[in-house]
Amino acid sequence: MTADLARGDIFIIDRDRRLRALLSTALLRSGYRAVCFADDHALLKTARAQRPACILVEEIAAWSVLQRMHTADYLVPIICTSEAGSIEVAVRAMKGGAVDFIEKPFIVDDVVRRIGEAVATDSKRWRIAAGAVDVSLLERPLTRREIDVLREFVAGNSNWEASAHLGISIRTIEFFRSRLIKKFHARNLPDLVRIILTGNGLAPGSCVSSCIECCDCEHRRCGDAGSVARSSSAEA
């Protein structure tokens, strides 16, 4: 076991008590802590206050978890397991937002390895927050508030977490999220994060000063109007 559980928590939903115990032991050896839940409701309630490194959920609860996480733009890797193992189930899981699909019965150590791969891939979201990529060098003009919100999303934070960190309302976070998605021509928030992390939104040699608009005039320049825009401007 590692000296500290720096790799984070793995949330698990599985009806097989013996399998949960085996997974918990194997994950602990790899530096993770397994947190098991009886159902999707308990997991989702905890997830609102505590962000896991990854979620491993069997098919019976997967659809609810995937849908709720997608609705909340909760960017945590989710791996779905199923005894069915059909192509249809796998495709549905991946389309629903799962990063991996594992057929039962499986080898526990293989699952832990795939969890590690999912966590490693997800950790790339932290590159902007850690300063590895300077969002002020993006080719599309961004306001200072948009940069703050974008950092939160790329760090993998939910609307709730971004709201708490920045001290602005969830409604304002949603407003800026929508505007960022439009500016980068993304399909949704996960696609926006992908665009940023793959460097598709970067302009080599861009000047910082030319990429940041004045917060006082952001709504006049972008043409946004309405109560949400006014509220967002005030909170910015």
Give per-residue pLDDT as tens, 37-74: 888 888 888 887 788 899 999 887 888 888 887 666 67
The burial class, CB within 10 Å (0-12 / 13-18 / 19+), for 227 is exposed
Q: Residue 213 is encoded by which pair of tokens?
A: 């608009």
Every domain of the chain and the residues it spans: 9-124, 127-235
Helix spans in 75-207 (H): 87-95, 108-122, 144-154, 159-166, 170-183, 189-197
* pLDDT at 204 > cutoff 60: no
Q: What is the dihedral of CA 201, 158, 11, 93, to 10 degrees?
A: -60
Confidence of residue 96 (pLDDT cuts 50, 70, 90): confident
Tell me the CATH number for domain 127-235: 1.10.10.10
Higher pLDDT, 73 or 103: 103
Whether the CB-CB separation of 55 and 79 falls below 8 Å is answered with yes
* CATH of 9-124 given 3.40.50.2000, 3.30.1280.10, 3.90.1150.10, 3.40.50.2300: 3.40.50.2300
Beta-carbon contacts of 54 under 8 Å, excluding residues fewer than 6 positions away, are 8, 10, 11, 76, 77, 78, 79, 115, 118, 119, 122
